[in-house]
């Protein structure tokens, strides 16, 4: 599979499409989802061109991987989600429900999330 440089997250990274930014550093960008599924719904994306978590773990530098994971903790602290709890989700591939072929994590919080997977 080839990375599509015209996907929505690539356009957001190039600032062709605006976002409501929560956090950014040299490696990641986090912003509010425009169609939130919960009270708080943040998207975390790496700045590199990675299709999904498998692609990221195979091709990213150790620094990119570390910074991506550290960003989760930073965002959770920034949004004061640590005490109440939160959920992190990444959909991978067709069967996993991935809609945009750029690695992204959904960070949900601010309310009770409910069961892990519904039937």
Give the integer Cα–Cα distance in Å for 106 and 96.
Answer: 13
Known active-site residue 41: no
Question: Of 32, 41, 74, 104, which residue is the catalytic one?
Answer: 104
Of all helices (H) and strands (E), which one includes residue 75? helix 62-78
Give the integer Cα–Cα distance in Å for 50 and 55.
Answer: 6
Which residue, 6, 114, 113, 96, is CA-closest to 52?
96
Q: How far is CA 19 from CA 3, 12, 47, 73, in A?
A: 21, 7, 14, 21
Q: Active-site residues: which are they?
A: 104
């Amino acid at each position: 599979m080839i990375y599509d440089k015209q996907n929505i997250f690539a356009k957001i990274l190039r600032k062709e499409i605006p976002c409501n930014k929560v956090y950014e550093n040299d490696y990641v960008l986090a912003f509010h989802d425009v169609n939130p599924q919960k009270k708080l719904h943040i998207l975390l994306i790496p700045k590199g061109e990675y299709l999904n978590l498998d692609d990221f773990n195979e091709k990213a530098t150790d620094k990119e991987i570390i910074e991506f994971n550290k960003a989760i903790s930073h965002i959770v602290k920034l949004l004061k989600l640590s005490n109440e709890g939160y959920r992190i989700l990444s959909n991978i591939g067709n069967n996993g429900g991935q809609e945009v072929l750029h690695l992204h994590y959904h960070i949900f919080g601010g309310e009770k999330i409910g069961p892990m997977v519904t039937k």
